[in-house]
Chain A
Amino acid sequence: MTDLETRIGKRFAALKAERRAGLVTFVTAGDPDLETSKEILFGLPGAGADLIELGMPFSDPMADGPAIQASSLRALKNGMTLKKTLDLVAEFRKTDNDTPVVLMGYYNPIYILGVDAFAAEAQAAGVDGLIIVDLPPEEVDELWQPARAAGIDFIFLTAPTSDDARLPVIVKRASGFIYYVSITGITGTRSADIADVGVALKRICKHTELPIAVGFGIKTPEQAAEIASVADAAVVGSALVDIIAANLDPDGRPKEGVVEKLLGLVADLSAGIGGADKKVA
């Protein structure tokens, strides 16, 4: 499949034609419950999300910060499973055939379901890409092969620790886009220095022509705009998940208006990015 036949490829081509960076939003599937999560997911494209990253809940998300771990545990407590996450994507696809959906998570639930079954079910559901945090290139082949055969993009994380020796190993199997983790740390904690990000992206560009999305530590429209000025897309996750956490009643049920609040921040982030002057094509 060429880049222009995939939803991810088409979306980045469209963004390039519009001369703007994209907004990638992360929420956890089933957080805080399936119904609310569905409302959020269905509302994201309209609010301005260009690509959707959907977290597959896992009990031990060791590369994520407290906000995203808490969101995983909320979803699991309310009965979320990997199967239900795939069903959720399938339902979303009935209403939206353009917005790319990338599943992000950890390998174990996929391994337990079975890599072939997972790839087939993800393809059928309309999943466009995978980010599997604990599958570095050294271990990825067992899932990479069935996923790629099913036409699903495999998106790899690169980090400030990924040097010129490491980058070729990573980009070799990458498709869709590259996800640059802008800090050495976990999600939702520190923010990166924009100058450092710019330097890092130039280095990555030497190794790949894939678009680059930047994430970890982006919380405000201003930060998103700043990242959008140097990257092809900005990823926002913990700030959205924090809105859910802050709008639960003592029993953990979502309060009135949580969906609107979350989508409101997405709209603000999108507006921030839309106004960004993109320097690097």
Chain B
Amino acid sequence: MTKLNTYRAGPDEAGHFGIYGGRFVAETLMPLILEVEKAYAVAKDDPAFWDEFHSQMKHYVGRPSPLYFARRLTELFGGAKVYFKRDELNHTGAHKINNTIGQILLARRMGKTRVIAETGAGQHGVATATVCALFDIPCVVYMGETDIERQSPNVFRMKLLGADIVPVTAGTGTLKDAMNEALRDWVANVENTFYIIGTVAGPHPYPAMVRDFQAVIGNEVREQIQEAEGRKPDSLVACIGGGSNAMGLFHPFLDDEDVRIIGVEAAGHGIETGEHCASLTGGKPGVLHGNRTYLLQTDDGQILDGHSISAGLDYPGIGPEHSWLFDNGRVEYVSVTDKEALDAFQLCTKMEGIIPALEPAHALAHVAKIAGDLPKDHLMVMNMCGRGDKDVFAVARLLGIEVSQ
């Protein structure tokens, strides 16, 4: 592979990161996709747009989120100095709100009067319903029936926020089916509706746009670690479902070649069992939901359902820029099983007094594997992208403890 001058120039004008990305959508949607692309291109160059974005980040979301030195875990692991980027302290409890604020500001600029979204674990649904309440815009959230059962607290939260929840029974009733259904809604309501996609996937310009909004994470880390340690981090670690929190942390550092970057996928019951969500480790390139990217699929090109303990990682695809960074080797991608994540969840809670979401518990499980072998002056930043309140009932069930909900 030829070495690139920059890893941060993508995508090209047609939305491609190498062979990945693009705009694989029905013709009915093409004019809309082009309209979103054009509107975002203008907004991106408008300082007033970013002023409003950063003002919302500060006053509504509560940014910058702290960069926290995890002293006890660092001592336990006995190697690298481990920092958490505390995005779980954001309003609504995860990084998702960085993106929904950005997209709702764009929807408003475009004069759209109705918002739709898909959600798996419910975190993106809550973050979307939240910004719709804030800006008084009707909101419809598509959610798989299976996920609705698994995530009842988030379903109620969205309802309180005024969103309509549409249960999706088609297919297998999970996140990919919710995304199919949201796309169908968009096709049928092209005039007034803006589709807020929750991750760095979908047709161009979504992967690039969501990345730009989430890049606030990595940009803050660069300043904060400079302040704390007087230099750059040596490594970055984040979990990956669709990959938006990881891309937000990674992207500002892609051209700092001395920074090692590691993405952690969900290995579910283990890659070898076939029951996992590790699109890069266990899938192959294909086309779904508007982009070309690594997908879990059969030899006949039919999409498979993923499995993960974490509903937020339970998606058979991954953002196209990750696929590109995987192929060119800039980012290392590894995977962590349900059990390892569950152990890390408990360890973090006991040692740091931070209940992590099951998603970043995957990242922490990998940190636990490698930190001990690294020198004590190695600076490692892990994205604590969500808090675990939403997961406590599921974890109790998994641990065989009865908790009345």
Contacts and interface: CB of A to CB of B under 8 A. Distances in A.
A139 B290 CA distance: 10
A135 B187 contact: no
B28 A157 contact: yes
Interface string A161-189: 11100100010000000000101111001
B282 to A, nearest CB: 15
Interface in A89-145: 106-113, 133-136, 138-139
A159 interface: yes
Contacts of A136: 23-27, 30
Interface string B176-203: 1101100110011110000000000000
Interface stretch (A18-26, A57-65, A191-199, A239-247): A57-65
Contact of B27 (A59, A83, A111, A156): A156
A270 interface: no
A134 B180 contact: no
Contacts of A107: 24, 287
B22 A59 contact: no
B48 interface: no
Q: Most B CB atoms within 10 A — which of A66, A109, A183?
A: A109
A157 B26 contact: yes
Interface stretch (B157-165, B297-305, B397-405): B297-305
B286 interface: yes
A244 to B, nearest CB: 17
Nearest to B180: A62
A69 interface: yes
A34 B20 CA distance: 35
A86 B258 CA distance: 51
A66 B30 CA distance: 22
B34 to A, nearest CB: 8
Contact of A60 (B22, B31, B288): B288
Contacts of A135: 24
Contact of A63 (B22, B28, B170): B28
A78 to B, nearest CB: 13
A184 B187 contact: yes
Given A109-B301, A109-B302, A157-B28, A63 B184 contact: yes
A81 B302 CA distance: 9
B91 interface: no
Contact of A82 (B14, B284, B292, B300): B300
A138 B187 CA distance: 18
A78 B384 CA distance: 44
A272 B23 CA distance: 39
B170 A69 contact: yes
Interface in B142-187: 170-171, 176-177, 179-180, 183-184, 187
Contacts of B301: 58, 82, 108-113
B14 A138 contact: yes
Interface in A231-280: none
B23 A189 contact: no
B31 A112 contact: no
Contact of A186 (B31, B176, B187, B300): B187
Question: Chain A's interface: helix, strand, loop or mixed, by majority?
Answer: loop
B27 to A, nearest CB: 4
Contacts of A109: 300-302
A184 B188 contact: yes
Nearest to A165: B31
Nearest to B31: A161
A91 B143 CA distance: 42
A185 B23 contact: no
Contacts of B183: 62-63
Interface in B18-57: 22-32
A134 B287 contact: yes
Contacts of B171: 59-60, 69, 73
B174 to A, nearest CB: 11
A49 interface: no
B289 interface: yes
A69 B173 CA distance: 13
B146 to A, nearest CB: 16
A139 B292 CA distance: 10
Nearest to A169: B30
A160 B189 CA distance: 12
Given A185-B187, A186-B187, A60 B176 contact: yes
Nearest to B182: A62
A76 interface: yes
A163 B190 CA distance: 14
A162 B285 CA distance: 30
A176 B38 CA distance: 32
Contacts of A71: none
A142 to B, nearest CB: 9
Contacts of A229: none
A66 B168 CA distance: 11
B35 to A, nearest CB: 10
Nearest to A186: B184
A223 interface: no
A251 B29 CA distance: 37
Contacts of B303: 59-60, 108
Contacts of A184: 28, 187-190
Nearest to B15: A138
B279 to A, nearest CB: 14
Interface of B: 14, 22-32, 170-171, 176-177, 179-180, 183-184, 187-190, 284-290, 292, 295, 297, 299-303
20 contacts: A60-B171, A69-B171, A82-B300, A108-B302, A108-B303, A110-B301, A112-B284, A134-B26, A136-B24, A136-B26, A136-B27, A136-B30, A138-B23, A159-B27, A161-B28, A161-B32, A185-B184, A185-B188, A186-B184, A189-B188
8 interchain residue pairs of minimum CB distance: A109-B301, A112-B301, A185-B188, A159-B28, A63-B26, A59-B302, A62-B180, A157-B27
